[in-house]
Structure 1
Amino acid sequence: MLKKVEPMANKIEDQLAVQSRPITAVLILVAGSAALILSLGLSIALGAADIQLMTVWQAVFQFDPTSTEHSIIREFRMPRSVADILIGASFAVAGAIMQGVTRNPLADSGLLGLNAGATLMIALSFAFFPGLSYTNLMFFSFIGAGIGATLVFGISSLSRNGLSPVRLVLAGAAVSALFTAVSEGIAIHFQLSQDLAFWFAGGTAGLKWPQIQILLPWIIIALVVALFLSKSISLLSLGEDVAVGLGQRTKVIKALSAIVVLVLAGAAVSAVGPIGFVGLVIPHIARFLVGVDYRWIVPCSAVLGGLFMIIADMGARLVNAPYETPIGAIFALVGVPFFLFVARREGREL
């Protein structure tokens, strides 16, 4: 049996290598990282008070506690920009994993109910457990994301024809609408509208270093686990029968992938709210650029997701300056047409 499996494994490895573009992937990672650093500096410099890039450099490496500009950069703008990168990478990698494991090109944490579930649990925690620490709030977000995903996949599985991308999206839309309505009802009944407005609108403006310190280890660990799972996800994306035939423990891989997605999506929503479409758009762009191997798709999605998020946040500040546009609206302008394009390309009607 082993002798039969090894040639098949080698053949599929060769197939993945042919359909992938590692040189392009390396270039994207290098160029994307450079663009990310530049965008980080520009994002910190942008705001109600214009700050020179040289001042940003001095605030980072030669901090002067007596300087007002340095204090603004360190205490307000830096954590916001770092959060943009972390949250963008989280949503993008979560979407990439969901698309690979479910073989659903329309998979996204926002479209499949995870974001709405996390938001509902945050609303419940505000209503019944006021003053909850941010760590506990994040755990509530994880639970809500899990409940949303379970409901969506459970409803979609009720059909005799089994799961399909369109059924998942339709179930996700129904569950998201229900959870959003309940969240808004809780906000009105318990007079929490102002407290929840941040999550409903979406944005990183209110994040400070204490929240970043709590988010960082969860997101970094989840991203590292995603990288370790990327080869197995590549095989799963070719079909479960293929993965099983190659000796993959598909149930374990799916379970670990689900945990990674819940951590990434739950952590991101707890920080910025139910922002959608990042996990839909970025993995498709990464796949188009680097091929079908998730060993390249996952890291490229992380870099491109962070870059996309920080650019969108800058755009949200510039569209209607000095007021800020909700970043969720920026993503919707890009995400909705992209969603329709992908759905049409797959030859399915919504």
Structure 2
Amino acid sequence: MIAKRSAVRVRYAAGLTAGLVLLALAVAGGLAVGAQSVPPAEVFAALLDPGAPHASIVREVRVPRTLLAVAAGAALGLAGAVMQGMTRNPLADPGILGVNTGAACAVVAATVLLGTRSLQAVVWWALLGAAVAVIVVYLLGGRGAGRGTPEGLVLAGVAVTAVLGAVVSGLGVLDADAYGTLRMWSVGTLAGRELPVLAEVLPFLLVGAVLALTVAPALDAFALGDEAGRALGVAPGRVRLLGTLATVLLSGAATAAIGPVGFIGLVAPHVARLLTGPDHRRLMPYAVLIGAGLLLVADIVGRVIARPAEIQVGIVTAFVGAPVLIWLIGRNRRARRSASRKAVAPA
């Protein structure tokens, strides 16, 4: 038994190491690839010497963009893991459940209606919008025939996303100039992001990450149901409160920085679960690495396939994530039908 546990720990550590190596390679690709490719040797020289060739491209454009992709992708992956564990819903994701769109809507409304331009104010508006969206989706998803089912929450999220998306478009009509400054951001983009953006959202991301990791052990007991969780010493209300706060901080701050990017929070936890199993203490670090890598690779793909122009990262993730969502919904329905047949089968 001890040898088996030791082997599991070794495999887990090896997997994390491999993930870090792959993320480092993606970071190198993010610094080298773009409308103008930079050889790796020159990237390294530019990082060390501000006067080196391509130093301005690497240091002023690609370093902030790459760091922000890693931070936002990690935040979205972790937020997705918390949401899926907290709601016991394998389809939960900040984008699908309207959290990202709620943050984006609040930012656009503050910009167009109130003339908000301060980055600090934008972050707070994004957090407020994310919180309101979470509450509305949970209220809608907990009512009607679809109450308590993953599909019920997804439908509520789709409805809220559609309404908020229409509000964002309507606000653009009211003030085309203000909305013009947010047009690229509103579909999710890393282009033009600078280090002050990362510095502004990083404290919120760190607090959200600490809260997420704090509730990780409780989510394992919570997965058995409220009553079983209470029997194991878990307070469901406290788990929901801390988990929701972590989700709002992570997804709201990420959206304030790069706009509403969907499906990272859906895909990253599922991939992590395939590698680690359902234990959230093991799953969450993997979700962080996978989320960061997915967003960074999606950004690189968007730069490459339409050179010298680029496709926004939110569009790339939507093309990849939508088929995954359809597959997961089908798999979830088949699993429920199979469980139902087994429950009614004669002994």
Q: Is the TM-score greater than 0.5? A: yes
Contact preservation (8 Å) 1:22, 1:290? no
Contact preservation (8 Å) 1:112, 1:152? yes
Report the residue type matching 1:234 in the other structure.
D
1:141 aligns with 2:126: yes
- Correspondence for 2:169: 184
- Select which of 197, 219, 232 maps to 2:205: 219
Aligned-pair CA distance for 1:22: 4.3
Contact preservation (8 Å) 2:116, 2:122? no
Report the residue type matching 2:210 in the other structure.
V
Aligned-pair CA distance for 1:23: 3.9
- Correspondence for 2:114: 129
- Correspondence for 2:343: none
- The correspondence of residues 140-159 of structure 1 with structure 2, limited to 5 A, is 140-159=125-144
Offset from partner CA, 1:179-224 (integer Å, 9 cap, x none) = 0001110011111332221222211112101111112222122212
Contact preservation (8 Å) 2:70, 2:295? yes
- Correspondence for 2:157: 172
1:324 aligns with 2:296: no
| SS of match in other structure, 1:347 | helix
Q: What CA distance in whole angstroms lies between the structure 2 residues aligned with 1:102 and 1:337?
A: 22
Q: What CA distance in whole angstroms lies between the structure 1 residues aligned with 2:247 and 2:307?
A: 35
- Correspondence for 1:35: 22
Aligned-pair CA distance for 1:132: 2.7
- The correspondence of residues 1-350 of structure 1 with structure 2, limited to 5 A, is 22-60=9-47, 62-64=48-50, 66-67=51-52, 69-159=54-144, 162-191=147-176, 192-347=178-333
Contact preservation (8 Å) 2:103, 2:127? yes
Structure 1 runs (4+) deviating above 6 angstroms are none
Aligned-pair CA distance for 1:39: 1.2
Offset from partner CA, 1:228-279 (integer Å, 9 cap, x none) = 2211111112222221101112211210110000001101111111111111
Contact preservation (8 Å) 2:35, 2:309? no
| SS of match in other structure, 2:184 | helix
Q: What CA distance in whole angstroms lies between the structure 1 residues aligned with 2:34 and 2:315?
A: 19
Between stretches 122-131 and 146-155, larger displacement belongs to: 122-131
Q: What CA distance in whole angstroms lies between the structure 1 residues aligned with 2:221 and 2:8?
A: 17
Report the residue type matching 2:75 in the other structure.
S
TM-score (structure 2 length as normaliser): 0.91
Aligned-pair CA distance for 1:67: 3.5
Contact preservation (8 Å) 1:88, 1:309? yes
| SS of match in other structure, 1:346 | helix
Q: What CA distance in whole angstroms lies between the structure 2 residues aligned with 1:160 and 1:334?
A: 30
Aligned-pair CA distance for 1:161: 6.4
Aligned-pair CA distance for 1:68: 5.1
Contact preservation (8 Å) 1:40, 1:310? yes
Between stretches 251-260 and 235-244, larger displacement belongs to: 235-244
Q: What CA distance in whole angstroms lies between the structure 1 residues aligned with 2:286 and 2:84?
A: 15
Cα distance change, pair 21–140 in 1 and its aligned pair in 2 (3 A): farther
Offset from partner CA, 1:64-108 (integer Å, 9 cap, x none) = 3x3351122111110000011011111111011000010001101
Cα distance change, pair 48–98 in 1 and its aligned pair in 2 (3 A): same
Contact preservation (8 Å) 1:21, 1:291? no
| SS of match in other structure, 2:333 | coil
Aligned-pair CA distance for 1:160: 6.1
Between stretches 142-151 and 158-167, larger displacement belongs to: 158-167
Once the two structures are aligned, what percentage of the paired residues are identical?
31
Cα-Cα RMSD: 2.0
Q: What CA distance in whole angstroms lies between the structure 1 residues aligned with 2:44 and 2:123?
A: 32
Q: What CA distance in whole angstroms lies between the structure 2 residues aligned with 1:244 and 1:231?
A: 13
Q: What CA distance in whole angstroms lies between the structure 1 residues aligned with 2:67 and 2:225?
A: 37
Q: How many residues align?
A: 331
Aligned-pair CA distance for 1:131: 4.4
Contact preservation (8 Å) 1:95, 1:108? yes
Q: What CA distance in whole angstroms lies between the structure 1 residues aligned with 2:274 and 2:134?
A: 27
Contact preservation (8 Å) 2:27, 2:296? yes
Contact preservation (8 Å) 1:236, 1:250? yes
Cα distance change, pair 124–77 in 1 and its aligned pair in 2 (3 A): same
Report the residue type matching 2:260 in the other structure.
P
Aligned-pair CA distance for 1:45: 1.0
Runs (5+) with no aligned partner, structure 1: 1-13
TM-score (structure 1 length as normaliser): 0.90
- Correspondence for 1:9: none
